[in-house]
Chains A and B, each alone.
Chain A
Amino acid sequence: MNAHERFAAYLAGKPVDRAPVIEWAPWWHLTVQRWLGEGLPHEMANTEALQGYFGLDKCLQTSVVCRTAKTPHAAEYGSGIMKDEADYEALLPTLFPDPERLLSDGHFDWLKQTHERGDTLHFFTVEGFFWYPREMFGIEDHLYSFYDHPELLKRMAEDYTEWLIKVFHTVFSRHRFDFMSFAEDMSYNNGPMISKALFDEFLAPYYKRVIEVIHTYGIPVFIDSDGDITEAVDWYAEVGADGMFPLERQAGVDVSTYLDKQPSMAFIGHFDKMCMKFGEEAMRWEFERLLHSMRRGKLIASCDHQTPPDVSIDNYRIYVKLFYEYAAKVTHADETVLPCPVFSGDGQACNSKGD
């Protein structure tokens, strides 16, 4: 079974030879720095090389944003590049690059070659409808903007939606990614940062439109949000998302409850990164905790965000060894998993699930 077949079959609840063994996030630079000091060869210090070095299934991200080289940068961490409608108007000529020129022919050739080789999962990432205005306004002003600039926020989401739809048609007609993700990070340890009412007004209508388009290409849509997403998982299900990651354990997430309440959604992550520094026994316990949910289908176990710098390279090697050991225990041979059309790869829209 190659990586694509395994990924698609796994999420469709069909039998697999083993579970995928992936890291979806690039590594934290401080962790890589530590590992370089512990013998990691310098030429291995990039995401693709690291995945190969540790023997993981390759899982690589292609991401695009709607800002260009002409768009100004935020002056400092977390600050924005606009305050009001006039600033937005001034930025507009620098935003929304031609979708045809976002990715080079060389990039598409590389996607095709590595896809055909069969060992690499590719996912496509764009900023979500929470993350994108946050980059524009800056973190704090964005949170105020729901009350200070509601019409502007909607105008920005509308413009962004139009552009995204063109991007998806352009990119997906040239390459069928294994899945796609919206970077969102709208939750923290105590739940979502915004209410369902704000979500329904400022995010949901736009998500529904773009996800409908993505589903015409048969590509499953994941939302990437840290923190406790127990409430938000239902909100994203409502707009048609097929899954979420990384299901941060530290924030109190318990995937088994999500599998109960959203049985047609899939999840990636949930392996508690905080236990990795304690060595083999702690990591084994953590895989044991996840095994039941993995067997139910729809949970692709993976580190619940980046491996922290307190994890030695030896402990990370043990993690990969255990990962394969537990991945082999999940073949879905005698499990019944509720399939979702988009995961079964028949190209049908998934948001028609349930109706």
Chain B
Amino acid sequence: MSIFQEISEKLQKGRAKDVSALVEQALNDGIAPQDILNEAMVVGMNAIGEKFRTGEIYVPEVLIAARAMNAGLKVLKPALTSAGVEPIGKAVICTVKGDMHDIGKNLVKMMIEGKGIECIDLGVNVEPSAVVNAVKESGATVVCLSALLTTTMNGQKDVIDALIEAGIRDSVKVMIGGAPVTQSFADEIGADAYTMDAASAAEVARSFMLN
């Protein structure tokens, strides 16, 4: 089994220590950090995303895999930086104002990071102005908004309005999701995308950044 395969498999099993050690070993063997990222870790997280989407694995398995990926990334980051490798893009993510639900938001974040995208997580119960500021500061091109309540889903529209008011609506793609959210709601409020699960969310975010 190649070291890429080994890293990917340990990552999928959530073995954080093994992933760190293998990433270290791969770096010592002179493998380019971007190859470790793309050929091993992103591949592993893609597999996790797909298995989660099809119901083969459940939330705890995604969490431990994402944790293993973060452990590997910690080892990999300095090498990526010195090799001048940039993330494929930046996304700002949060749960909107009035809403404290964050399990789904966290999964979306993990899956997005699993695509090699940098994710700025503003947490839960976030004001539209905080999203605007984060986009301005980071230069993020994707904004991900989670809402689990019918009382807070309009907060997704408030963020879009705030982005328009700040004159930066056209510089970002707005993605929305959460239990009560639907494609028709996304159309109604002028969001750029809706997905019903975290793996598809990451796929769409990536495609926005590559296009």
Taking the closest CB of chain A, its distance from the CB of B22, in whole angstroms, is: 19
Q: Is B55 an interface residue (CB 8 A)?
A: yes
Q: Is A251 an interface residue (CB 8 A)?
A: yes
Q: Which residues of B contact A195 (CB under 8 A)?
A: 57-58, 61
Q: Which residues of B contact A140 (CB under 8 A)?
A: 63, 103, 106
Name the prevailing secondary structure of the A interface residues.
mixed
Which one, A30, A189, A227, A274, contacts B196 given CB within 8 A? A189
Known pairs A78-B100, A308-B150; A194 contacts B60 (CB<8 A): yes
Contact, CB under 8 Å: A78 / B55: no
Contact, CB under 8 Å: B197 / A190: yes
Residue of A nearest to B178 (CB): A189
Known pairs A190-B197, A195-B58, A251-B179; A147 contacts B64 (CB<8 A): yes
Which one, B60, B104, B124, B151, contacts A143 given CB within 8 A? B60
Residue of A nearest to B56 (CB): A195
Q: Is B59 an interface residue (CB 8 A)?
A: yes
Count the A-B residue pairs with Cβ separation under 8 angstroms: how many? 54
Q: Is B87 an interface residue (CB 8 A)?
A: no
Contact, CB under 8 Å: B58 / A189: no
Q: Is B180 an interface residue (CB 8 A)?
A: yes
Interface size class of B (residues with CB under 8 A): 20 to 34
Contact, CB under 8 Å: A274 / B59: no
Q: Is B114 an interface residue (CB 8 A)?
A: no
Docked pose: A62 CA to B137 CA in angstroms: 51
Q: Is B102 an interface residue (CB 8 A)?
A: yes
Docked pose: A140 CA to B59 CA in angstroms: 10
Q: Is B14 an interface residue (CB 8 A)?
A: yes
Contact, CB under 8 Å: A188 / B64: no
Contact, CB under 8 Å: B150 / A274: yes
Q: Which residues of A contact B150 (CB under 8 A)?
A: 274, 308, 310
Interface residues of B in 147-181 (CB under 8 A from A): 150-151, 179-180
Taking the closest CB of chain B, its distance from the CB of A158, in whole angstroms, is: 20
Docked pose: A139 CA to B102 CA in angstroms: 10
Contact with A along B26-68 (1 / 0, CB 8 A): 0000000000000000000000000000010111110110010
Q: Which residues of B contact A194 (CB under 8 A)?
A: 58-60
Interface residues of A in 324-351 (CB under 8 A from B): none
Residue of A nearest to B182 (CB): A250
Taking the closest CB of chain A, its distance from the CB of B187, in whole angstroms, is: 18
Docked pose: A14 CA to B150 CA in angstroms: 38
Contact, CB under 8 Å: A308 / B151: yes
Taking the closest CB of chain A, its distance from the CB of B113, in whole angstroms, is: 16
Q: Which residues of A contact B179 (CB under 8 A)?
A: 188-189, 227, 250-251
Docked pose: A143 CA to B65 CA in angstroms: 12
Residue of B nearest to A76 (CB): B100
Q: Is A269 an interface residue (CB 8 A)?
A: no
Known pairs A30-B151, A310-B150; A139 contacts B103 (CB<8 A): yes
Docked pose: A353 CA to B120 CA in angstroms: 53
Residue of A nearest to B67 (CB): A144
Q: Which residues of B contact A30 (CB under 8 A)?
A: 151
A residues apposed to B, CB below 8 Å: 30, 77-78, 139-140, 143-144, 146-147, 188-195, 198, 227, 250-251, 274, 308-310
